[in-house]
Amino acid sequence: MSRLRLVIGNKNYSSWSLRPWLFMRHHGLDFEEVRLPLDSDTFRQRIVELSPSGRVPVLHDGERVVWDSLAILEYLADLQPPLRGWPEEQGARALARCISAEMHAGFADLRGELPMNCGRRSSLHAISAGARRDIERIQSIWRQTRQAHGDGGPFLFGHFGIADAMYAPVAVRFRGYGVPLDADSQAYVEAIYALPAMQDWLAGAAAESERLAKYETIGH
């Protein structure tokens, strides 16, 4: 039995769950996955004893319980042997923390209007000024980070790390809702989709049968 257990929501919809799952799968960590479909009786019954916040994702490492996607990513990066989470160089590390925190706490309009839905393949007719600002800001973060630190590979700091895990759900939103992107951002979205771990998540999402109307009726 594996020591690590990650409790997640639906792969189709749970953007917060995707972050640590992708990081764990990409790094080849052995873990047990417990999937609780959002808005279900199973979720309501089981989450109480699994997650102090009542939300997913939550990681169990033996007796230790770690919740909140960013805290989980940091915890995983600190495991022995350590995983490549933050870049080494201090300036790059500070930037990686800034953009991850900005993602964690911000972009409310984008989140509200373009919720992650892995199965979605149709454009939105109308996007609010606020969501447009979020989309521009994210592309400028990606562009500037890749230009300054992206030489070693196709990810924000070259190699896949915590900042990429934080932004992976945005790649799904951009692709699913057909958001037009600049060439660099498009290439970054493709790099996220090309990860074998991402393909595994998407295959899991495609196999799910639950459909939540609040995510499926947007812009139709």
Note the residues at the interface with ligand GSH (CB under 6 A): 9, 14-17, 38, 55-57, 68-70
Q: In a 3-state reduction of DSSP, which class is residue 77?
A: helix
Q: Residues 166, 73: contact at Cβ < 8 Å?
A: yes
Name the residue whose CB lies closest to ligand GSH: 55
Q: Which is nearer to ligand GSH, 103 or 197 (CB)?
A: 103
Q: How far is the CB of 96 from ligand GSH (least distance, A)?
A: 17
Nearer CB in complex with ligand GSH: 29/50: 50
The answer to whether 67 and 49 have CB atoms below 8 angstroms apart is no
- Is the alpha carbon torsion for 107, 113, 116, 119 positive or negative? negative
Minimum Å gap between C-beta 39 and ligand GSH is 7
Q: What is the DSSP letter of 86?
A: S
Q: Which is nearer to ligand GSH, 51 or 146 (CB)?
A: 51
Q: Which two tokens stand for residue 210?
A: 């639950």
User: CB of residue 56 vs ligand GSH: minimum separation in angstroms?
Assistant: 4
Specify the residue, 25 or 146, whose C-beta has the smaller distance to ligand GSH: 25
CB of 70 to ligand GSH, least distance (A): 6
- Burial category of 28 from C-beta neighbours within 10 Å (exposed 0-12, middle 13-18, buried 19 and up): exposed
